[in-house]
């Protein structure tokens, strides 16, 4: 069964460092998303991406965040200068149509720990 | 933007009992309402969804109801089993509710 793959499963980084979280969406999907879940809290929408551009972003997705689809298979989230409060699980998701209208499939997440 | 409220935050039931989780949303333009189950250490997985042109949908022991006028939708799990224990999230317009931790006691 096709699945969304995220790497690494766990990343530890020093405060102020840049991190790149990687995702391989399901191959025929066209819509891509990043969500964040601080331990024990809700799943928060960060950004949606379609046709090589951001289609929607939340207030959390400020200038320190960026997304990219560098090739035909990867979708990345970059955090430029990590802060302690960026520690969370980051989930990538993809869908064949907009998630406003259809199921999004989630990866297993990357646990980011900022020390 | 969309705001999704979910209740209760925790729910404990005896095996075999029913569980109901309720959500409200704010944006009347929302027309797709998924429910996700999240087990420990995993990503959310869709368990059932409903579109705005339907009032109720059922899949074995799981059902979802939608009241578009009142802007609320509910998840119903009947004959609960210990393996139903997890965190459940509702969503609308890609925004998630706060989650409900369901515990089913054997």
pLDDT value at residue A71: 87
Query: Quick one: how many helices (H) and strands (E) in chain B?
Result: 0, 11
Q: How far apart are CA A49 and CA A95, in angstroms?
A: 11
- B45, pLDDT greater than 90: yes
Rounded to an integer, the average pLDDT of B68-95 is: 96
A vs B, Cβ pairs < 8 A, gives 53
pLDDT value at residue A99: 86
A74 to chain B, closest Cα gap in Å: 18
Residue A91 contacts residue A106 (beta carbons within 8 Å): yes
pLDDT value at residue B2: 87
pLDDT in tens, chain A (115 residues): 789 999 999 999 999 999 999 999 999 999 999 999 999 889 999 999 999 999 999 999 999 999 999 887 899 999 999 999 999 999 999 999 888 888 999 999 999 999 9
Nearest CB to B43: which of A45, A101, A109? A109
């Amino acid at each position: 069964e096709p699945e969304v793959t995220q790497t690494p499963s766990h990343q530890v980084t020093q405060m102020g460092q840049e991190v790149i979280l990687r995702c391989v969406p399901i191959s025929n999907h066209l819509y891509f998303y990043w969500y964040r879940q601080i331990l024990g809290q809700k799943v928060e929408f960060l950004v949606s991406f379609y046709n090589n551009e951001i289609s929607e972003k939340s207030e959390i997705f400020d200038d320190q965040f960026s997304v990219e689809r560098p090739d035909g298979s990867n979708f990345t989230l970059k955090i430029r200068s990590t802060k302690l409060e960026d520690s969370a699980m980051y989930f990538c998701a993809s869908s064949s149509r907009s998630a406003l209208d259809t199921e999004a499939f989630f990866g297993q997440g990357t646990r980011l720990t900022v020390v | 933007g969309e705001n999704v409220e979910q209740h209760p935050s925790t729910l404990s039931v005896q095996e075999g009992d029913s569980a109901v989780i309720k959500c409200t949303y704010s944006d009347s333009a929302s027309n797709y309402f998924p429910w996700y189950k999240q087990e420990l250490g995993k990503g959310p997985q869709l368990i059932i969804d409903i579109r705005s042109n339907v009032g109720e949908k059922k899949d074995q022991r799981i059902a979802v109801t939608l009241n578009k006028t009142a802007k609320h939708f509910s998840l119903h799990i009947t004959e609960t089993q210990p393996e139903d224990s997890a965190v459940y999230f509702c969503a609308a317009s890609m925004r998630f509710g706060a989650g409900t931790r369901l515990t089913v006691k054997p």
